[in-house]
Structure 1
Amino acid sequence: MTAQKLPNPKYIPKPYEQMSYPGQRVQIDVRFVPACCLVNEAKGKRFYQYTAINEYSRWRYVEAFEEHSTYSSAVFLRHFLERFPMPVECVQTDNGTEFTKRFPLLGRRL
């Protein structure tokens, strides 16, 4: 007797939830800034662009850091919350190590 393989259930996508007021959800992401985008005294350095976007109003806050770390993420979040004109209910990230510090040594040899 062999095990019976059950069919995969059909994928049904959930509709996108529209935000109904400012601060309901803010998305934060980090990107490496390519060297070709840097000029003057920034040339030759490495920068990471942190971006926060309010989903309701599309209000945006951008800041660059030379370090890609949980410390830079905390500083960015504090600066963002100081400047955002409304209270923030939810912050959504991609769960990168700069936000969670989970599994930081995966892929590295000790």
Structure 2
Amino acid sequence: LPLDVQLAEIEFDIDAYEPLAPFKPTMTRAQAEKALAMLNEAERPLVVAGGGIINADASDLLIEFAEVTGVPVIPTLMGWGAIPDDHRLMAGMCGLQTSHRYGNATMLASDFVFGIGNRWAN
């Protein structure tokens, strides 16, 4: 959502509130095969690791994926720690909250960005 919408004050009736059911998207095999084909065809692919990896306790799977594919990883602020800072495929952090300019530079130079566990929000 645009910032002006996020920051707008609204009237809210708590009695009328009904929470939405959780949505947990899943990938089909065809979608996974297409994503992996695109990743393999890229010259400078990159994985952006978000906080969903931390929440799912899937850091080991992320590292295994990165090592098998040889693709560098940049975590978002919420994904920091998904890959150790001293791992050979850790390419710095990305986003507005980081001082790791090389993470943002790596992202800008990549030709395929594969997001895992992130929101693409800011």
TM-score (norm 1): 0.31
The answer to which structure has the higher strand fraction is 1
Bigger Rg, structure 1 or 2? 1
TM-score (norm 2): 0.29
